[in-house]
Structure 1
Amino acid sequence: MDSLRSLRLLPWSSPEGKPCFLDAEGEGTGYVSRLADETEALQLAEGLDVLGEARRVLEDPVSPHVAVRYAAVRLAECLADALRVAESRGRRAAGR
């Protein structure tokens, strides 16, 4: 299990949908680590934007069904991204 702790869960999946990992030994300042940091930041920022739009849709009692469904789909996508970021950061914090 210790070998898994030294692997960083990346914020993207393989073409087959499998998780991608990076050997996190060292300071994590390499190109892929920086790309992962930037991707995580973008995913979290997008989640905030989607949350704001979803709240506007849900606060309107006459929002069309399709708008509510779209908001729910986008929220689910962003939640999955945020949970992946949290898992990745939790693994790294536990490994320190």
Structure 2
Amino acid sequence: MQAGRRRSSSKGLCADGFGRISPKTRSHSVQPWTRTFLAHDVPHQPGTRFVYNTPATHMVSAIVQKQTGQTVLDYLRPRLLEPLGIEERWWPLRAE
């Protein structure tokens, strides 16, 4: 899966939320959700089908945080939110 498709909902995955990409394994141990996301099958060629994919937006947030050392909200605030006049909003964060 390529991060270059992050701006569209055409990554090729079928899942529309974390309910379909469950972090639980058959032994009921919990894996990091990023590992589960990346291990998920991609049944469609990326760019060929539109399926809203909430886990993909969380993956982009994880990539931003890993690359910048900032939460996605801290990264976006001066670059996007403030220039657009968007006031401070709550942004859910995951421990991973």
TM-score range, shorter chain: under 0.3
Query: Which structure dedicates a bigger proportion of its chain to helix?
Result: 1
More strand by percentage: 1
* Structure with bigger gyration radius: 1
